[in-house]
A and B are shown apart, each in its own frame.
Chain A
Amino acid sequence: MSDQIDLKGIEKKAWRSAFQDGIWDIYFGSLFLGMAVALFGDSFGLAPELGSMIIILCWNSLTVLFLILGKKFITTPRIGFVKFGIKRKKLKKRMLGFLIFNLILAFLFLFVNISGIFELFNIGGFIEPLVVGLLLITVPLSILAYFLEFHRLYIYAILFGLGFFNSELLFPLVGSPLDLFLSQGLIGIIVILIGSGFLIQFLRKYPLSKA
């Protein structure tokens, strides 16, 4: 009987209440959908790489804006505002450090991929997209899910990580770029729909406070 009042449980419950609005789900789903939309980078008369980069930049900026504004104008007026303790602040710092590390890792991978080292080792076929997806998407997102205590993100991490692998499976059937668009875009849309379901539920449960 070490703790009559389960303070850890109360804190965890309070922390997890931040994810009941579905906004984080919509945010991650949109990020992934953005990757699929970016495949149409050449539609604006620009070079495909440049067009894709512009689309990703604009799309991701809008997604981040949605997350910030959604939390400010949808969540906070309905469930209020809370500042968590030192433990959570430390976790946030660690999470930020990890995300920066992950960004560096992604750039390194991009550099290695462009340099053609993978071709030297004859890595290809289904293994490369599976390893790339799991290493660069599933593992970082799972660690993020652990830090955030956002349990649905573990499932999304697996779904997102399998995106490249699925596109390899779809390639013989639909060709490129529809293979990537279908595999990544569909997963993004599914996650957005899940998030929208949570958002509707949240809006019904917590109407705007008149006070």
Chain B
Amino acid sequence: MTSDDSKEEVIPIIEIDKLIHEPARLMIISLLYVVESADFLWIKRQTDLTDGNLSSHLSKLESAGYVTIQKTVKNKKTNTSIKLSGGGRKAFEEYRKKLTQILESTNI
């Protein structure tokens, strides 16, 4: 195996989106990918993450432009609606494609 060959095998792994690759964020994005929108509590229940953990992951995803977070106040209660953005959808599809490529090339 030449160094060029190994480089070719490693490049897709390096290119993988680390923001999505983190297990908790991958769970959040996967859920948001299959629904139109969801509130904070629904994602929390589905992922079993703590409030702080989920909040922190959502902030990171929002900063990257992968999700849009909309806060509304209804009956003195704050409702947080979360939606996967167009960019987030595209990034997730790209992530899946790359992950599949990597796993196929390593015969897993």
Chain B 6-38 interface 0/1 with A at a Cβ cutoff of 8 Å (1 = within): 000000000000000000001000110111111
- Measured CB to CB, the closest approach of chain B to A107, in angstroms, equals 35
Do A83 and B38 contact each other (CB < 8 Å), given the known contacts A4-B96, A4-B103, A14-B46? Answer: yes
CB atoms of A7 and B45 under 8 A apart: no
Query: Given the complex of chains A and B, what is the CA–CA distance between A84 and B34 in angstroms?
Result: 7
Contacts of A75-122 to chain B: CB distance below 8 A: 77-86
CB atoms of B42 and A211 under 8 A apart: no
CB atoms of B103 and A80 under 8 A apart: no
- B45 contact from A5, A11, A80, Cβ within 8 A: A80
Query: Given the complex of chains A and B, what is the CA–CA distance between A86 and B30 in angstroms?
Result: 16
CB atoms of B103 and A79 under 8 A apart: no
Q: How extensive is the interface on chain A, given as a class?
A: 20 to 34
CB atoms of A81 and B42 under 8 A apart: yes
CB atoms of B40 and A83 under 8 A apart: no
Chain B hits for A80, CB < 8 A: 38-45
CB atoms of B30 and A7 under 8 A apart: yes
Chain B hits for A85, CB < 8 A: 34-36
Among residues of A, the one whose C-beta sits closest to the C-beta of B83 is A83
Among residues of A, the one whose C-beta sits closest to the C-beta of B36 is A83
B5 at the binding interface (Cβ < 8 Å): no
CB atoms of A5 and B96 under 8 A apart: yes
Chain A hits for B37, CB < 8 A: 82-83
CB atoms of B39 and A82 under 8 A apart: yes
Chain A hits for B91, CB < 8 A: none
A173 at the binding interface (Cβ < 8 Å): no
| A residues apposed to B, CB below 8 Å | 1, 3-5, 7, 10-11, 14, 17, 77-86, 206, 209, 211
Beyond the given pairs A83-B36, A211-B41, 10 more chain A to chain B contacts, judged by CB atoms under 8 angstroms and listed by A's residue number, are A5-B96, A7-B34, A10-B30, A80-B43, A81-B39, A82-B38, A82-B42, A85-B35, A209-B41, A211-B51
